[in-house]
Chains A and B, each alone.
Chain A
Amino acid sequence: MKYFYSFSAIAKREWIELKRYWFNSFIGIVMYILVFLALFTGAQSIGQNNFALMDSLEGFLIGYALWFLAIGAFSDTAHSIIDEARKGTLEQLYMTEIPFTWLLISKNLVSTVFFLLLFVFIIIMQMQITGIALNLDLLSISITLFISLFSLYGIGLILAGLGLVFKRIQNLLGAAQFVIVGIMVLSPTTIPFVKFLPFVYGRELIMNIMREGYSVFNFTIIDWSFLIGNSVIYMLVGLYGYKLSERQVLKRGMLGQY
């Protein structure tokens, strides 16, 4: 039960912060919609076959929403740890008998629920703006997104660890955004090995769900294996990378310094 109570505490804190600082989140979504409108209008005027991000309007719409979400997911982990270190509260989180890893996973679980709601909201907004109809199979989208986001949290953990050790990693975080653009563009059907990259397989499945009407009930063993395996492996790699950084940080006493 201790783990449940700590999860509840993290969830409540996230809710309080979201509620109290809703204006910042609201402006973020408004900016996103405005940029989407500009890109969409520009893309329409160039022509359907010349999209830089995707090969169709539907693909562009989903790809852009997923990119927004992916950026949020990996930077959420990295930023939140670095932010806690800067404020000094990270040391307190390390001083509980509940493992810090659990507190981190709790935060990721809560963020995932938030990201799922956000994704559905912005997709509906985009569908209204563009008049494009997509298959909104909420169950399939939620399950796939829920699982695949953990691969990005793993990457976020590595970046967070680097942030604790090297302190200033803004440029690396900036560069990672471009890497995620690459992840959104690369297709495992044309370049098979990219399905080993984080989030790629999940993204492809979500594309198929929303465009082709694919469903979790049609997922093959290979689909499930890649989806779950990819997230588990990247999360484990992320946790291991973070632990390596943590060892250095605890040795040098830098947990509360930023």
Chain B
Amino acid sequence: MGMVDYLQVNNLQKLYYVNNSKIKAVDDVTFNVKAGEVFGLLGPNGAGKTSIIKCICGLLDYDGGDIIVNGYSMKNKRRKGLRHISAVLEGNRNIYWRMTVKENLEFFSGINGISSSKVKERINYLINQFQLQQQKDTVVNKLSRGMKQKVAIAISLIANKDIILLDEPTLGLDVSMSHEMRSILRGIAKDENKTILLSTHDMNVVEATCDRLIIINKGKIIAKDTVDNLKSLFNKEIYKVTLMEGPKNQLKERLKKVAQLLNYQKQAENTSLLLQLDNGNQLIEIFQLFKEEGISLIAIEKVTKNLEGIFIDLLKEEQHEILL
């Protein structure tokens, strides 16, 4: 039996009116997130990620389509939908900076209608889980950015809701804290069995944490798949070839007939070429060409694209389509 769709976003549209002109911030976006899944919303700044997140958590009215949270439409049954959602919006601003970590956890459980006696164990569990034992009685204002982000995420878990929305959870964090945050996110999904939807422009976060993702640009989905599928789909046969000396123009032309020359860099001691092939067998033809031209080969390596490369390719492709 397949997993249940906890969150369905169907043909979502959000318009903004700026100086009498209509801007489509979210344009016909459709996706679904299954229970226990970590789902990524990837896109450059201004792509519409935050608008989508805010529409899901009922902080932004949408103009078209619908959002269904565990069976409840966020248009008509917003409050019932909110029983299943908690969110950390950009910049960990869901915390009272003048209250301590523990006071914040107590406050947010209270305003969600949970009694302080019932939540005691959960607070202690989260404080231990997020390694905040030493900071629990510290006023949030005195914590580092990374610590504040940890507290913000702990708060989003206090009411034990099913879906956690995270808007740019690693923004502004240093490398080690960003790594720690990724393992925290994986832990939440695994140990707490939560469904996570996270928006980010950091490909490494998606690659390390997400099962599936959509890539959006200018409010539209430009790719939707599992992280692994996207990587294999976009990882064509790309090879970096390092030669003793640069190929003459004639060879370049012959090479272009066999493969796509993506990059050409001439350095003092060698020259490197980035070639994209349709299949690995074309390498034989290329070696033959080098032999005929008397060019010495130093090294050849297969280049594997990470998500960042795929992302850039997709944006370029989209730009190209617009120009056409």
Interface residues of A (CB under 8 A from B): 1-3, 5-6, 8-10, 12-13, 16-17, 20-21, 87-89, 91-99, 103, 247, 250-253, 255-256
Apart from A6-B113, A247-B61, 8 more pairs, CB < 8 Å: A5-B116, A12-B106, A13-B103, A95-B59, A96-B112, A98-B113, A103-B111, A253-B16
Chain B residues, Cβ within 8 Å of A247: 61
Select A253's contact among B59, B111, B112, beta carbons within 8 Å.
Answer: B59
Interface size class of B (residues with CB under 8 A): 35 or more
CA distance A12 to B97 in the complex (A): 15
Chain A residues, Cβ within 8 Å of B87: 95
CB distance from A64 to the nearest CB of B (A): 31
Supposing A91-B89, A97-B82 touch, asked if A6 and B110 sit within 8 A by C-beta, the answer is yes
User: Would you mind naming 9 contact pairs between A and B with Cβ atoms under 8 Å apart?
Assistant: A1-B115, A9-B108, A10-B111, A12-B103, A20-B98, A89-B95, A97-B79, A98-B111, A250-B59
Chain B residues, Cβ within 8 Å of A103: 111
Interface residues of B (CB under 8 A from A): 16, 51, 54, 57-61, 79-80, 82-83, 85-87, 89, 91, 93-99, 103, 106-116
CA distance A94 to B60 in the complex (A): 11
Supposing A250-B60, A251-B61 touch, asked if A96 and B111 sit within 8 A by C-beta, the answer is yes
Chain A residues, Cβ within 8 Å of B82: 95-97
Chain B residues, Cβ within 8 Å of A88: 89, 91, 93-94
- Judging by beta carbons under 8 Å apart, are A87 and B93 in contact? yes
CB distance from B21 to the nearest CB of A (A): 15
Chain A residues, Cβ within 8 Å of B91: 88
A-B contact count (CB 8 A): 96
Supposing A94-B59, A97-B82, A251-B61 touch, asked if A9 and B111 sit within 8 A by C-beta, the answer is yes
CB distance from A77 to the nearest CB of B (A): 17
- Judging by beta carbons under 8 Å apart, are A96 and B113 in contact? yes
CA distance A79 to B168 in the complex (A): 29
Chain B residues, Cβ within 8 Å of A93: 111
Residue from B86, B109, B112, B116 with most neighbouring chain A CB atoms (10 Å):
B112
- Judging by beta carbons under 8 Å apart, are A8 and B60 in contact? no
Chain A residues, Cβ within 8 Å of B58: 94-95
Chain A residues, Cβ within 8 Å of B99: 13, 16-17
Chain A residues, Cβ within 8 Å of B51: 253
- Judging by beta carbons under 8 Å apart, are B115 and A87 in contact? no
Residue of A at shortest CB range from B109?
A: A9
3 closest Cβ contacts across the A-B interface?
Answer: A9-B110, A88-B93, A2-B113
CB distance from B216 to the nearest CB of A (A): 17
Chain A residues, Cβ within 8 Å of B85: 95
Select A92's contact among B98, B108, B116, beta carbons within 8 Å.
Answer: B108
CB distance from B113 to the nearest CB of A (A): 3
Chain A residues, Cβ within 8 Å of B107: 9, 12-13
CA distance A252 to B86 in the complex (A): 21
CA distance A256 to B109 in the complex (A): 21
Residue of B at shortest CB range from A98?
A: B113
Supposing A91-B59, A95-B59 touch, asked if A9 and B106 sit within 8 A by C-beta, the answer is yes
Residue of A at shortest CB range from B119?
A: A5
- Judging by beta carbons under 8 Å apart, are A5 and B115 in contact? yes
Chain B residues, Cβ within 8 Å of A16: 99, 103
Chain A residues, Cβ within 8 Å of B61: 247, 250-251
- Judging by beta carbons under 8 Å apart, are A253 and B113 in contact? no
CA distance A65 to B95 in the complex (A): 35
Chain B residues, Cβ within 8 Å of A12: 103, 106-107, 110
- Judging by beta carbons under 8 Å apart, are B112 and A252 in contact? no
Chain B residues, Cβ within 8 Å of A97: 79-80, 82-83, 112-113
- Judging by beta carbons under 8 Å apart, are B110 and A256 in contact? no
Residue of A at shortest CB range from B113?
A: A2
CA distance A3 to B60 in the complex (A): 25
- Judging by beta carbons under 8 Å apart, are B57 and A95 in contact? yes
- Judging by beta carbons under 8 Å apart, are A8 and B116 in contact? yes
Chain A residues, Cβ within 8 Å of B16: 252-253
Residue from A10, A91, A93, A255 with most neighbouring chain B CB atoms (10 Å):
A91
CB distance from A52 to the nearest CB of B (A): 39
Residue of B at shortest CB range from A91?
A: B59
CA distance A3 to B86 in the complex (A): 19
CB distance from A103 to the nearest CB of B (A): 6
